Structure formats: structure tokens, C-alpha cells
A and B are shown apart, each in its own frame.
Chain A
Amino acid sequence: MSQPVLSVRDLVVGFPTRRGVLTAVDGVSFDIAAGEVLGVVGESGAGKSLTGAAVIGLLEPPGQILGGSVHLEGKRIDTLEPEAMRRIRGRRIGMVFQDPLTSLNPLYRIGEQIVETIRTHAKVSSATASERAIDLLEEVGIKGARSRIHAYPHEFSGGMRQRVVLALALCAEPQLLIADEPTTALDVSIQAQIIALLKRLCRQRRTAVMLITHDMGVIAETADRVAVMYAGRIAEIGPIGDVLRQPRHPYTQGLMGAIPAVAGATATRLTQIPGSMPRLNAIPAGCAFNPRCPRAFDRCRRLRPEPITAGRTEAACWLLAHDAGVAS
């Protein structure tokens, strides 16, 4: 297999406080290949957005990387100086956030913002950059791009703004795109358009995508592989079809049962996972999920499970260990 575009190993992100370090991301490892979409899914506080921010070097202090490594095309980037990291951001790693308005400057016209971004990353004349901006806007599905580059962000609807942000993120042809909840602020019909667009653009360019979302439906539509996060750790990672059809980790199983289905007959009750995600200062010993797990046993309370391979999936669960004596 060729070298992955992004390779994250044992990443630890923490917040030093007076009462010790709060670990928000704890030993996360994954790879993303060129043209592959990795979905990172989890509930609030699972550490998915922090993982994305750590990869792109945008952790808000006091949050910091406390361990592990991040490699972009074989080159280590988590130890780079801020100036060197700034040059990678935008050019080699693109970013799309939830709220398109926070990514666009309200005082500048759409065209100016795209031209500025293009000229920051490539030595081209402003006329060439302007032509490229129009091409890009047309490519992301903005009709009449030639006249609309003179519009301000507030003149666009939410869906159109997210298209512009996507154009901005992709204008330097990055190898990796990190999309953090790109469709959460949008209505379902617009969401479907943006998902389809994201998929098409990244497939054409063979961009690696890290898609962070809480919405399993969006992941199911978009991702090739999925990583399910819980309390700062990856509970389960594998090809999307395998994880959806045969979730191995009890947390993933509970999560799937908790989502009301659109297709098929309506269940009378949804699966309930008792309790809620632990706070950062009270992550249980052993498996972080053990107090909420219906199948937890003695070992889960003592030892933290390492990822165990089951089929094409890896899950951090002692039930999958050969000597556990429990068939999954």
C-alpha cells in the first residue's frame, strides 16, 4: 500500500490546569490515503474537533499536543515552527468549518477573498487569479459566477456561503481537507447538495478528507472509513459498510440503535445508553465506556483495551480479545 497522506500516531491532546492535566484526546491513531474520506464521528466532548485542530495546528491555548506524532506525506508536521505550519495551512491542508460566516470576511467581496487566497499560495497575476476564482465558483455550483464574485458574503444564502468556503479551501489544491461539521448548520436539502459536492470535488482531485461530524447519516453517505470516538479515544475504526452493518464495540452498537430510522418500520423504543459521556476530569479507569456498557466485566474496569482486529474493523474492546471467552 502506498504512503498515506495523513498519518496520526498516539496523539495526545491535553489542557494543563492547576489541578493537573485534563486529557481530551488520548492516544488516537489513524491514517488517511489519497482520495479517501475518513469520517470521524462522536458525541459532544468525544474529542473529534480537537483531533482535527491538533492535525492542522490550530489548537486554542491552553490546549496543546502532549504526545504522539502527525505526519503529512511522510513529513512530521506537529513539531514545526508556527511560521512553517502557517505555510502548510491553506496550501497543503484545507479547512472547512461549521459556520461559513466565520470563515468569510464580511467586509470583502467574495472574489477578492478567493483571489487573495490564490495569490498567497501561487505566484500568478491578479487577472489570472480572478479567472481561476470564477472557474472555481462555477465548479462549486454558483451560477453566474462572473457577476457574483462582486457580491459580499451576506448576499449569499447559507448553502451558497458553504460552497464559497469549499472553493476557498480547495483553491490551493491541498492534499488534505479537514471538514469540521461542514453541513450541521444547513437544512437537509442543502446538506445533501454540499455532501455531494464535497465528495465529487475530492474524488476528482484525489484529496484526502477528514470529515468530522456528529451525524452518522452524513458519514454513511460520504465516508469510505469511519472512526467512532468516545471520551478522547477511538472506540472503533473500520470500513464504513462493516461498521454500520456489524458494529463491534458496544458503544457503536448502542449509538446505532439510538438513531431513529427513516427507512423501514418504526421501532417502539430506541436503544438507550444510560448516563452520559464522562467529564474530562472523571474519565473512568480501564475502558472509558465501562460504566455505561451493558456487557462490561471485571477486566474492563481495570485495564484499558488496546485496538483489537475483528474482520476489517479494529475495536478497543475486551470482548473481542481471544481469551475473553465471550463471543461478540
Chain B
Amino acid sequence: MSSAPALVEAHNLTRVFDVSKPWLNRLLEGERRRLLAAVTGVSFTIGKRETLALVGESGSGKSTVARMIVGLLPPTGGKVAIDGIDIWAPASAAQRQRLRRRLQMIFQDPYASLNPRWRVDRIIADPIRAFRLAADRAEIEARVGELLRLVGLDPADGRKYPHEFSGGQRQRICIARALSSNPEFIVCDEPTSALDVSVQAQILNLMRDLQDRLGLSYFFISHNLAVVKHMAARIGVMYLGRIVELAPTAELFAAPRHPYSRMLLDAVPDLAMTGRRRKPIEGEIPNPIDPPAGCPFHPRCPSAFDRCRAETPQLLPAGSAMTACHAVAAHKI
């Protein structure tokens, strides 16, 4: 995949949130500004027809990355480019408009992301109207019907309101809306976490079918390792705002390198009940306002040594993967 030109390129993305108290409180209480680095130096590429996933626990910064990629949240530093065009600094308004059409997003909660007062056909037609992709009403109608069929619903469902649908059907509507502007790239932020497993299977199958038929690229965010393994070709593991390992899926699951990836894989409940002994997991994610010095994972890491406490590791190639770990770089593990 890496030989093909990348469709999406994220370079050194950083996002800092100001979580200070109000100015007067700071003045009276003599406090300084408090900054929270939600994402630090995240870089990756996504090829055409490829799925890249980011996995991590709550607070690891994966949703913040998704929002910067899709253009909902300006990065504090770094760059996002689609086909070489910087989405945060396009040459013209027209170019920005053309770019916007090519990327779409699917959110976690299919209940919150559909306007309850709009009929489904209006919801799906909205991007078609906004980007002027159809000449007249009849054409819009035909396109909406086609999209509903594409996601496994009936064209007649367009006359209904969102509350008349189940969670899985609503997520299908969200997918139809995302597809209505003929995008090439879809950012999916936990698209199935609100769904039951049998419905999740329907949606994941649908998303893979659509990828094959329409040649889509996905950027897939999830906390569920099994879902990520099913969907992605490459996976980035995030911890406290940084990618600690970026590896082809099969490799990550067969031989995780970073101690955090190992711990995460070990923590997943095992359905196959192979009776493996699991290492007990120690500790919790530290407060991102006050992250540990050096490698952010060192207080929980079984392989940490002096260097880990002093120096933040960079993401370096290790085999066909990339790992940010001093112990891996020094061949200690």
C-alpha cells in the first residue's frame, strides 16, 4: 500500500487545548495557564482504497485526530493534506469546496447525528444540494432512492423520520448521507460502538462491501481491537496523544512490539478460551494535563529503563512496523 501515492497525509499533527481557569481566577489565585496536549506529533498516510485504523483507550486522543483530519477542529501544529492540498490552507474558497465534497464523516451515535425534525430523504439530499450535485428535483429524488438501496434500505423509507428506525438502520442512513456527495475518503469515529453485535456485523459487512464497490478509503477510529482487526489494513495504537506503534494489522496481532500494544492485546477478553495465562495489568492512563516525563508509558511499562524516564521516544521503523519505544529500538525486547 505504501508504494501507491497517499490520498491522505497527516504530518506532525498536534492539538493543544487551553484548560486554564478564567483570567480573573488566575490573577487572584496566582495560577498559570494550564495546557492539555491532546495530540502530539501524529503522522500517517492513507492510500486509495485503504483502511487505516487508530485504536486506543479513552483520552488517548484518537477522536481529536479524526476531527482534525475531517476539518472540524483546527490543529495547533502540523498539516493535513488530501491529494497534496492542505485542507486547513486551501488556495481558494472553490478549492476548499471541492475538497470538502471528497471527505465525509460517520459518527458514533446514530441517534444524535440525524436531525429528528427532517425526513430521511431531506437528510440524505442535503449534501447533494449543498454541493449542487444534481440538476433538478427529480434527479435528487432518484439519487436518494439509489443511495437508500445501496445501504440496504427501501427507497420508500425516505418519507419517514429518523425516530421510526432502529439504531442499525439509523447508522445506515448516516452512511447513505456520507455517500451522497460521492466522497473518496470517509472518517468513521466509533461507527458501531453504540450497536449490538449482530447489528454491528451488518454495518461492518456493509462498510466493507461499499469500500469494494466504490473504492473508498476509510480512517477508522475504535476502542475495540477485534473490530479494528476486522476492518483495517494498518493500525496505529495511540497512548496519551501519541502513536506508539503503527503496523500492518496481521503483524500487530501476531507480534505486537510496543509494551503498550502487548498489554492492550492481552487485556482483550478471549472468546476462543485458549486458556492462555494473561499478565495482570497494572495502573491506569495518567492525567493528560500532567503527563509523565520521557516516554508517557514508562510508569506502567515492565521494560522501562533510565532512558525511558528522561527522553521521549520517536516513532522509528522496526521491521515493517513503526514503534516509539527505546527498549524496542535498543533490541532489549
Q: Are A269 and B208 in contact (CB under 8 A)?
A: yes
Is the C-beta of B269 less than 8 angstroms from some C-beta in chain A?
A: yes
Q: Does A255 contact B (CB under 8 A)?
A: yes
B333: interface (CB < 8 Å): no
Evaluate contact between A192 and B249: CB separation under 8 angstroms: no
CB–CB A262/B226 < 8 A = yes
Q: Is the Cβ of A262 less than 8 Å from the Cβ of B265?
A: yes
B229 is an interface residue with CB less than 8 A from chain A: yes
B265 touches A189 (CB 8 A): no
Q: Which of A189, A256, A273 has the most CB of B within 10 A?
A: A189
| CA gap between A214 and B167 in the complex, in Å | 16
Contact of A273 among B57, B201, B223, B267 (CB under 8 A): B201
Closest beta carbon of chain A to B169's beta carbon, Å: 8
Residue among A257, A268, A271, A272 having the largest count of chain B Cβ atoms under 10 Å: A272
* Interfacial chain B residues near A221, Cβ < 8 Å: 269-270
Q: Is the CB of B230 within 8 A of A267?
A: yes
A217 touches B (CB below 8 Å): yes
Given A217-B268, A220-B273, A270–B226 Cβ distance below 8 Å?
no
* A-B contacts besides A43-B199, A187-B57, A218-B269, 8 pairs, CB < 8 Å: A189-B57, A214-B196, A214-B197, A257-B201, A259-B226, A262-B270, A263-B270, A273-B198
Binding site for A on B (CB under 8 A): 57-58, 166, 168, 196-202, 204-205, 208, 223-227, 229-230, 249-250, 253, 263-274, 278, 280-281, 284-285
Across the interface, name the chain B residue whose C-beta is closest to A251: B198
> A220-B271, A261-B272 are contacts. A266–B230 as well, Cβ < 8 Å?
yes
**Is the Cβ of B227 less than 8 Å from the Cβ of A260?**
yes
Binary per-residue interface labels of chain A (198-227) against chain B in the complex, 1 for a CB within 8 Å, 0 otherwise? 000000000000000011111011000000
Known: A214-B197, A254-B198, A260-B230. A189 touches B271 (CB 8 A): no
Given the known inter-chain contacts A187-B57, A215-B269, please indicate yes or no for A255 contacting B198, CB distance below 8 A: yes
A128 at the interface (CB under 8 A from B): no
Task: Please provide the 6 A-B residue pairs with the shortest distance between their CB atoms, ordered closest to farther.
Answer: A217-B269, A258-B201, A43-B196, A260-B230, A270-B201, A187-B57
Q: Are B225 and A188 in contact (CB under 8 A)?
A: yes
Whether A189 pairs with B264 at a CB distance below 8 angstroms is yes
| Contacting residues, chain B, for A255 (C-beta < 8 A) | 197-198
What are some 23 contacts across the A-B interface (CB < 8 A)? A43-B197, A44-B196, A187-B58, A189-B267, A191-B267, A192-B269, A196-B280, A216-B271, A218-B269, A241-B273, A255-B197, A260-B204, A260-B230, A262-B268, A263-B253, A263-B274, A269-B205, A269-B208, A272-B202, A273-B202, A276-B166, A276-B198, A276-B199
Q: Is the interface of B mostly helix, strand, loop or mixed?
A: helix
Instruction: Report the separation of the CA atoms of residues A306 and B313 in the bound assembly, to the nearest whole angstrom.
Output: 61
Query: How many angstroms from the CA of A195 to the CA of B273 in the assembled complex?
Result: 15
- Chain A residues whose CB sits within 8 angstroms of the CB of B204 once the complex forms: 260, 270
Nearest Cβ in chain B — how far from A59, in angstroms? 23
A305 to B273, CA, bound (A): 30
Report if A105 contacts B (CB, 8 A): no
Docked pose: A277 CA to B169 CA in angstroms:
13
| Closest A residue, CB atoms, query B60 | A187
Residues of B within 8 A of A196 (CB): 280
With A and B bound together, what is the CA distance between A242 and B264 in angstroms?
A: 27
Looking at the complex, which one of A159, A217, A258 makes contact with B198 (CB distance below 8 Å)? Answer: A258
**Interface pair A217/B272, CB less than 8 Å apart:** no
CB closest chain-A residue, reference B250:
A266
Bound complex: CA of A132 vs CA of B11, how far in Å? 54
Q: Which of A156-174 contact B (CB under 8 A)?
A: 157, 159-160
For B223, the chain A residues whose CB sits under 8 A away are 187-188
Q: A244 within 8 Å of B by Cβ?
A: yes
A261 engages B226 (CB within 8 Å): yes
A45 nearest CB neighbor, chain B only: B196
User: Which chain A positions have C-beta within 8 A of B58?
Assistant: 187
Q: Which range contains the number of A residues in contact with the other chain? A: 35 or more
Contacts of A240 in B (CB 8 A): 273
CB of B147 to closest CB in A, whole Å: 21
Q: Residues of B contacting A191 with CB < 8 Å?
A: 267, 269
Chain B residues with Cβ below 8 Å from A157 are 284
Bound state CA distance, A221 and B278, in angstroms?
11
A239 CB to closest chain B CB (Å) equals 11
**A270 / chain B contacts, CB cutoff of 8 Å:** 201, 204-205, 230
B263 contacts across to A, CB distance below 8 A: 189
Bound Cα distance from A41 to B285, whole angstroms = 29
Q: Confirm or deny: A264 has a beta carbon within 8 angstroms of a beta carbon on chain B.
A: yes
In the docked arrangement, what's the CA distance between A53 and B264, Å?
Answer: 33
Is A193 an interface residue when CB atoms closer than 8 A count as contact? yes
A190 is an interface residue with CB less than 8 A from chain B: yes
Q: Considering the complex, give the chain B residue whose CB is closest to the CB of A192.
A: B267
The reply to whether B272 and A258 form a contact with Cβ atoms under 8 Å apart is no
CB distance B57 to A258 under 8 Å? no
Report A-chain residues with C-beta under 8 Å of the C-beta of B266: 192
A residues 35-87 in Cβ contact with B at 8 Å: 43-44
Minimal beta-carbon separation of B227 from chain A (angstroms) = 6
A259 touches B271 (CB 8 A): yes
A157 to B268, CA, bound (A): 20
Nearest B-chain residue to A214, judged by Cβ: B196
**Cα of A271 to Cα of B127 in the assembled complex, Å:** 33
A275: min CB distance to chain B, Å: 9
Report the Cα distance A192→B263, complex, angstroms. 11
Q: Which residues of A contact B199 (CB under 8 A)?
A: 43, 276
Residue of B nearest to A41 (CB): B197
A-side contacts of B274, CB under 8 Å: 263
**Quick check: B201 and A272 within 8 Å, CB to CB?**
yes
Note all chain A residues with C-beta closer than 8 A to B284: 157, 159-160, 189-190
Given A187-B58, A273-B201, CB of A195 within 8 Å of CB of B264: no
- Residues of A close to B273: CB separation below 8 A: 220, 240-241, 244
Q: Tell me if B267 and A217 are in contact (CB < 8 A).
A: no
- Known contacts: A260-B226, A261-B226, A270-B205. The answer to whether A220 contacts B270 by CB under 8 A is yes
> By the criterion CB–CB under 8 Å, are A266 and B205 in contact?
no
Q: Please give, as numbers and ranges, the residues of chain A lying within 8 Å of B281 by CB-CB distance.
A: 189, 192-193
